[in-house]
Amino acid sequence: MIDANANQFELRFQSLFDSGRGFAFPCDPQGQVNLDGLSEKARNNYLYARAMVGREMSVPRVQTVH
| pTM of the predicted protein model | 0.84
Reported as a pLDDT band with limits 50, 70 and 90, residue 7 is low
| Contact indicator for 2, 57 with CB cutoff of 8 Å | no
> Amino acid identity, residue 15?
S
Dihedral sign, CA of 32, 35, 41, 46?
positive
Per-chain mean pLDDT for the chain: 91
Q: What is the DSSP letter of 43?
A: H
Instruction: Please report the beta strands in the chain, taking only residues with DSSP state E, as ranges in sequence order.
Output: 8-14, 22-27, 61-65
| Mean per-residue pLDDT, 1-8 | 55
**Does 66 have pLDDT greater than 90?**
no
| Mean per-residue pLDDT, 39-62 | 98
Dihedral sign, CA of 32, 35, 39, 44?
positive
Collapsed DSSP state (helix, strand, coil) of residue 35:
helix
